[in-house]
Chains A and B, each alone.
Chain A
Amino acid sequence: MTHAIQAQGLVKRFGETLALDGVDLTARTGTVLGLLGPNGAGKTTAVRVLATLIRPNEGTAKVGGHDVVSDAHRVRQQIGLTGQYAGIDEMLTGTENLVLIGRLLGMPRREAKSRAAELLERFDLWDARERAAKTYSGGMRRRLDLAASLVGRPHILFLDEPTTGLDPRSRGGLWDIVRGLVDDGVTVLLTTQYLEEADQLADDIVVIDHGRVIAKGTPDELKTQAGGQVLEVRPVTEADHVTVSRVISELVGSVPQVVDGLVRAPITDPAVMPAVVRRLDDSGVLVAELSLRKSSLDEVFFALTGHGTDEVEETPEALVKEGTPA
Chain B
Amino acid sequence: MAKETRVILICSGKGGVGKTTLTANLGIALARQGKKTAVLDADFGLRNLDLLLGLENRIVYTAQEVLEESCRLDQALVKHKQEANLSLLPAGNPRMLDWLKPEDMKKIVEMVSELFDFVLIDCPAGVEDGFKNAVAASKEAIVVTNPEVSAVRDADRVIGLLNSNGIKPIQLVLNRVRPKMMASQEMLSVDDVTDILALPLLGLVLEDEQVIVSTNRGEPLTLSGSNSPAARCYSNIVLRLQGEEVPLIDPSKEGSSIGDKFRRLMQTKIF
Pair from one complex: no
> What residues make up the interface of A, taking CB atoms closer than 8 Å to B?
none
